[in-house]
């Protein structure tokens, strides 16, 4: 091969060097803009747009006025995100895993309570009886911080008698003064059946329900 | 008044460019994870997991690098406000 014709290896090396230099120059310009606070870097801007859109929504506006605790605020927003992602199983599961990994199982139940409208309905029922906004904050944050005590998430695979026993035990112990049952899809029928039995067995409690085609939220409150 | 920053999408950009951006900011990458100047893996504090180069988000506020997901972003907005 004549000396003035470069080998394939030289061509590839030259190209690679050129591409790297191009990437470095481009990166340098972008980083300068970043440092001038003109841009941020993100893999997919839709993630930011979704979070921002949700924070502007009416439900978060209402919840953010009431929920003051940082962790609960984050989990409440995750509940709204889970609701929005309900049709995308992969994204829903990925987010559930992240919540569980970072904050644990109970935190996931907090997010689920928001996702399934339990908290917004609870606020709707409680707020007419509360004068001071700080009292509503305490009431809602107490519910969220003790989600397992206040809310019974009914799984379709559970035996009705076992759930009934759990509910009876809590009502007999008189703690708390509000108990919420939640059932979706197949568990909705189960929740309704439990409500009917509780109504017969506990005359000192009253129930009210919020129902859609696929889910039911049952509030069991002690009569004053 | 808050000046909103433009979002530069890294989606579809070559890995060389992502690595070059990180290098320029004082980080390294093995093509999967990101390492700080002490050689430690960059951990997203909002999810407690290492950040991967193919899903990173670099935000203002001492140049914080996060995983691009709703939990991390929400945590960041709660702590720093919506500056983007």
Chain B residues whose CB is inside 8 A of the A70 CB are 78
Chain B residues whose CB is inside 8 A of the A44 CB are 9, 11, 68
Cβ B40 vs Cβ B49: under 8 Å:
no
**B25: contact with A, CB 8 A cutoff:** yes
pLDDT tens-digit series, residues B26-71: 999 999 999 999 999 999 999 999 999 999 999 986 779 999 999 9
Instruction: Report ipTM (2 d.p.).
Output: 0.90
Q: What pLDDT is attached to residue B1?
A: 43
Q: Do A40 and B49 touch (CB under 8 A)?
A: no
Low-confidence ranges of chain A (pLDDT < 70): 1-4, 6, 11-12, 15-16, 19-20, 174-175
Q: What pLDDT is attached to residue B31?
A: 93
Q: Does pLDDT of B82 surpass 90?
A: no
pTM of the model: 0.87
- Separation in Å, CA A71 to CA A95, A188, B9, B40: 16, 30, 29, 27
Q: What pLDDT is attached to residue B2?
A: 47
Residues of the domain holding B56: 15-80
Q: Is residue B65 part of a domain?
A: yes
Domain residue spans of chain A? 42-145, 149-224
Q: Does pLDDT of B14 surpass 60?
A: yes
Q: Minimal Cα distance from A26: which residue of B? A: B17
For residues A31 and A193, what is the distance between their CA atoms, to the nearest angstrom? 61
A203 to chain B nearest CA, in Å?
43
**B20: contact with A, CB 8 A cutoff:** yes
Q: Is residue B6 part of a domain?
A: no
Output the six-digit token pair for A211.
């129902």
Q: Is residue B59 part of a domain?
A: yes
Q: What pLDDT is attached to residue A22?
A: 73
Cβ A111 vs Cβ A75: under 8 Å:
yes
For residues A144 and A148, what is the distance between their CA atoms, to the nearest angstrom? 9
Handedness of CA B21, B23, B27, B32 (dihedral sign): positive
3-state secondary structure of A216: strand
Q: What pLDDT is attached to residue A1?
A: 52
Q: Is residue B45 part of a domain?
A: yes
For residues B29 and A184, what is the distance between their CA atoms, to the nearest angstrom? 45
Q: Is residue B31 part of a domain?
A: yes
Q: Is residue B8 part of a domain?
A: no
Domain A149-224 has CATH 3.30.110.20: yes
Q: What pLDDT is attached to residue A177?
A: 81
User: What's the alpha-carbon Rg for chain A, to the nearest Å?
Assistant: 27
Q: Does pLDDT of B15 surpass 80?
A: yes
Q: Is residue B26 part of a domain?
A: yes
Q: Do B7 and A37 touch (CB under 8 A)?
A: no
Q: Is residue B1 part of a domain?
A: no
Q: What pLDDT is attached to residue A224?
A: 73
- Crossing angle, helix A45-56 and helix A58-66, to 10 degrees? 70
Q: What pLDDT is attached to residue B3?
A: 56
């Amino acid at each position: 091969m004549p000396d003035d014709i470069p080998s394939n290896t030289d061509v590839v090396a030259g190209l690679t060097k050129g591409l790297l230099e191009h990437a470095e120059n481009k990166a340098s310009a972008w980083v300068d803009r970043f440092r001038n606070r003109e841009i941020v870097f993100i893999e997919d801007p839709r993630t930011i747009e979704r979070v921002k859109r949700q924070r502007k929504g009416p439900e978060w506006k209402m919840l953010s006025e009431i929920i003051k605790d940082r962790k609960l605020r984050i989990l409440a927003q995750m509940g709204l995100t889970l609701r929005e992602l309900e049709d995308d199983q992969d994204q829903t599961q990925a987010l559930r895993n992240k919540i569980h990994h970072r904050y644990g199982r109970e935190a996931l139940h907090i997010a689920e309570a928001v996702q399934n409208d339990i908290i917004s309905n609870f606020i709707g029922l409680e707020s007419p009886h509360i004068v001071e906004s700080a009292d509503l904050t305490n009431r809602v944050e107490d519910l969220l911080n003790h989600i397992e005590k206040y809310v019974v998430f009914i799984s379709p695979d559970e035996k009705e008698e076992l759930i009934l026993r759990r509910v009876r035990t809590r009502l007999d112990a008189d703690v708390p003064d509000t108990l919420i049952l939640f059932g979706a899809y197949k568990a909705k029928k189960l929740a309704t059946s439990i409500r009917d039995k509780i109504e017969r067995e506990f005359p000192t409690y009253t129930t009210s329900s919020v129902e859609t085609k696929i889910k039911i939220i049952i509030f069991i409150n002690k009569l004053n | 008044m808050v000046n909103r920053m433009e979002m530069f999408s890294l989606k579809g950009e070559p890995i060389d460019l992502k690595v070059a951006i990180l290098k320029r900011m004082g980080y390294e990458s093995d093509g999967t994870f990101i390492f700080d100047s002490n050689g430690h893996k960059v951990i997203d504090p909002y999810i407690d997991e290492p950040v991967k180069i193919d899903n990173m988000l670099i935000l203002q506020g001492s140049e914080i690098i996060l995983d691009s997901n709703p939990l991390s972003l929400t945590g960041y907005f709660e702590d720093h406000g919506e500056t983007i």
